[in-house]
Structure 1
Amino acid sequence: MRHLLGERIRHLRKLRGITQKDLAKGICTQAQVSNLERGTGNENPSSQVLYLLSERLQVDMSYLYGQYKTNYKNSTNQLEVKSVIDNLKSRRDYLSLKYVIDNELSAEKNKYISPFQKQYLYWHQAICAYHYSNDFNYAEKLINSALIMEVDQENEETHIQKIEIKVSYGLILYYEKVYDLATKLFLECIDEQKKFTSSQSKNKILPKILFNLSKCYTAQENYDKALSYCLEAIDICVENDSLYLLGDVIYQAGYNYYMLGQLEEALSHMNDALIIFNIQKNDNLVKFVKIKINELTAI
């Protein structure tokens, strides 16, 4: 038990990139941490010391005592930070997003966040690097760093986050007009997503992949294939009563119908998208779709 305890403390400490001194600060001595990690010493650590160490390592104390799976604690602060980041990303407020991420990745805070959370932050730092700083090379470097990062516990949640990171990478490649690589990446994401059965995987991740894959095929003027992926995404959204991306995908379908010369279907889908954007009070997209509809009706 003492050997297992020491192994797990050492492994978690190294994952976090903190020293024995950092881990011990305010809890015990560095020598005690060293003895714990080596499984040496005659003195058994008190439950209070182990509790405080587990808090700093952000795992349940039961994991240190031999529970098989790591159970990283999602502190209230981390959940709030994730909510803020997701909100800023959806609003495309990349300046504020950059400020939040830089603050969370500051040297002091960086010691005490889980590898899974650190991967999440690197991913969004890459998004900022591309959309705010217009630095493709740095964004690509950050994404690759996030993808190879060891997150300790492999489960559906960690695999889905990795898929989402790949989707973001594919989207950046799409913006860079590297359509063949983006298409290949999105197809790989579809195959990886099929391994999971959670509602998040099917209702949110799959429509996003299909939507972006459709955009790649549209850019390559393969409108039939682009439309087929749009219609598949629409079916998933409707089947699950989800408005997430539904307006975007319906508009995308309308555009592909237009490029295939099917004007009536194009207008029908664009009007449906307009209704959804109005419900969502997305004024920018409402204005954009109205302009497109007026252009088509003037033909």
Structure 2
Amino acid sequence: MDIQQRDELLAFMAGHRIMTLRKQHGMSQAYLARGIVSQPTLSLLETGKHSPQPELLRLLGEKLDDSVLLTYAELTEQKNDYIDIPPDEILEALLQYTASWTAFHTNLAVQLSEYYFNLGNREHAEKLVDLAINNKLDSIHYYKACNLKGKFLLYSFDYMEAEQYLLRANHAGNLLDSKLRATVLYNLGYTYFFMDKYDLASTYCAEAVVICQQESKLFWLYAKALGLRGAIYHKVGRLDEAMSSLDDAFVMLEKFNGNLEDKFRVSMSAVDVLESQARYDEAEKYLERLRDLAPDFEGIGDTSLSVYYRILARIQFRKGLYSQAELSVSEAIGHAFNVNDDWSITWSLITVLGIYRDARKRRDAAEQILTIAEEKQLPMQGAIAAEALLELSGDSFPIEAYKAITMYRTALFRTIYLEPVAGLLPKLELKTDDKTSDDANGIESEPGGAESAAANDLGNAKSESGSRNEENQRKETGEV
């Protein structure tokens, strides 16, 4: 906080306190101002539009018998750029002036919102950021608020809603400083990654990486962006580049004492790449590193733990440890449900399709996936579940499964970087009144082919029944 911002905050808080105390004492502005200052000046002071002089604050503090105003008078004289005002008092003051906010109030609300979010008080954090956005002031602080709102929505796994706010923030372009610009771009890349839109994820992530390379102070964000880039590379089948980017990210996080959860996620993405290459011994070494990083997994969130157990289950399955694999899948599902993370829930249930041998359990998992995929618009997961149901149902192919495949085909038309749908989905001859969507023939894949996420799990079950060729199996990829 610079001196100007400090003076603005002092004027705002002093004005709020003067007005509150005056009303509590039953005084009119004319009575309080008498012998001290003019009534119009007092009115400006109460609304924070007039910077008070130390002597004025002392006189008002004495008349109102308030030690806080006397403290404000001392702070005004000191010209120190640090002042200690309880956040709850600032919140109370802000909420009383919502009808007449300026850019100053919006900026204050954004800073306070982030404070409460980091403190774990989501209610206050979201209330403040919503007020900042709803004021719609054309200032840099509005775009900061949009980015913060998008961040909050990402923590709630609401990727489609987060996309809208982050795109608003991105409209500010070069008006944003380097740090905020790179953060917005990273958040957009992260959002599109979990929406399975890897072309957009790659574009925004690459822009974030470039900015971070140019700004030495953004090493923490640079490491996260490298981790995201590695996960995206994995999604599109560029496995060597994925490992290189993930290793660079981990080294940077270690060097600059990065966040434990970020280290955990980057390591999990690396394990995912190694597992997809059938490099199980190396994958297990990375898993040991994870356990060393976080003994008893203290400080690791449920989403990250869901990924950990999901990948561990696949490795155990391939080593013939079937009972252990099923227990790990159960852990993965439990952690995903703990935080209502639909993305992790569906991929964990897809792992059930590949590991469990009980047809009833596999069918239940597929039906759960279809329900979530339709509600949350997760076409890839829905299509994989639909294929499983096609196998499990024989000639009786559920209409829900047909709808899921149709949704997937529609998505593929919009995201042509994926493999042709004809190579991924069965040919359908469905007896229904609904019209089928056109086949996605003619959609070209990128050089090398883009591997679709997590069909590897489904492929395990399908290989047992002989219903699918090995060339059509797909690998579930890493997460950020």
TM-score tier, shorter chain, comes to: 0.5 to 0.7
Alpha-carbon deviation of 1:229? 1.8
Cα separation, partners in 2 of 1:286 and 1:144, compared to 1, 3 Å = closer
Quickly say closer, same or farther: Cα 1:283–1:170, change in 2 above 3 A. closer
Equivalent residue for 1:104, pick from 146, 169, 187? 169
The answer for the alignment partner of 2:301 in structure 1 is: 243
From the CA coordinates, give the structure whose radius of gyration is larger.
2
Unaligned stretches of 5+ residues in structure 1: 1-47, 49-60, 63-72
* Match of residue 258 from structure 1: 317
- Say which of 316, 336, 339 aligns to 1:280: 339
Q: 1:297 to 1:121 in 2, by over 3 A?
A: same
Report the aligned-residue RMSD. 3.5
Partner in structure 1 of residue 266 of structure 2:
209
- Return closer, same or farther for 1:177/1:290 CA change in 2, 3 Å cut-off: closer
Deviation of 1:173 (Å) = 0.8
One-letter amino acid of the counterpart of residue 85, structure 1: G
- Quickly say closer, same or farther: Cα 1:92–1:284, change in 2 above 3 A: closer
Aligned pairs (5 A) from 1:30-109: 75-76=110-111, 77=141, 80-90=145-155, 93-106=158-171, 109=172
CA distance in 2 between partners of 1:97 and 1:191 (Å): 30
Task: Call closer, same or farther: CA 1:127–1:258 in 2, change over 3 Å.
Answer: same
Query: How do 1:94-173 and structure 2 match up within 5 A?
Result: 94-106=159-171, 109-110=172-173, 112-127=175-190, 134=197, 136=199, 139-149=201-211, 154-155=216-217, 158-173=218-233
Which whole-Å deviations, capped at 9, do the CAs of 1:162-182 have from their partners, x for residues lacking one?
Answer: 111111111111110111110
Shift of 1:203: 1.6
* SS, match of residue 211 in structure 2: coil
Q: Deviations over 1:229-262 (max 9, x none)?
A: 2343245343534234112212211211111222
> 2:176 is paired with a residue of what secondary structure?
coil
Q: List runs of 5+ in structure 2 lacking aligned partners.
A: 1-50, 52-79, 82-106, 112-140, 359-463, 465-480
Flag the 1:165–1:284 CA change in 2: closer, same or farther, 3 A: closer
User: Could you tell me which residue of structure 2 aligns to residue 269 of structure 1?
Assistant: 328
Shift of residue 217 of structure 1? 0.6
Answer yes or no: is the 8 Å Cα contact 2:314–2:351 preserved in 1. no
The residue aligned with 2:131 is none
- Work out whether 1:218 is the aligned partner of 2:304: no
- Does residue 227 of structure 1 match 2:271? no
Measured in 2, the distance between the counterparts of 1:243 and 1:178 equals 28
Contact 2:157 2:342 in 1 (8 A): no
Aligned residues: 222
1:14 paired residue number: none
Q: 1:98 to 1:82 in 2, by over 3 A?
A: closer
CA 274–143 in structure 1, closer or farther in 2 if over 3 Å, else same: closer
Give the whole-Å Cα distance in 1 for the aligned partners of 2:212 and 2:245: 21
What is the TM-score of this pair, normalised by structure 1?
0.61
Distance 2:237 2:324 in 1: 28
For 2:347 and 2:204, the matched residues in 1 are separated by: 33
1:160: Cα distance to partner? 1.0
Deviations 1:74-120 (A, max 9, x none): 953566444422243355544433322232132xx445432100111
TM-score, normalised with respect to structure 2 = 0.40
Q: CA deviation at 1:281?
A: 3.8
Secondary structure, counterpart of 1:101 in structure 2: helix
